[in-house]
Homo-oligomer: A and B are copies of this chain.
């Protein structure tokens, strides 16, 4: 069954305490490859039946209203993944 993946990240201009904690842990472990870490959420919605424009529109609405808090978060990607794990249609990138 097709899945739609919605990616939500904290807004770039806001502090991200979870990300800071991971970055601090990496630094303590001696890893200095990464200059920053941010932690967001990934939602996988399993769709009954085919993914058409109506379903995508409904996902966009859900992503904006239910899955993300637009005051502090951005929806950064909505991607359709088929049952085999291959990415097909996509509305990825900064959507905000």
Contact = CB atoms under 8 A, between A and B. Distances in A.
A15 interface: no
Contacts of A43: 19, 22, 37-40
A55 B32 CA distance: 11
A7 B39 CA distance: 10
- Give chain A's interface residue range (CB within 8 Å of chain B): 35 or more
Interface of A: 1, 7-9, 19, 22, 25-26, 29, 31, 33-48, 55, 58, 62, 66-67, 85, 87, 92-94
11 contacts: A25-B66, A31-B62, A33-B48, A34-B47, A36-B45, A37-B43, A39-B43, A40-B42, A40-B43, A85-B93, A87-B92
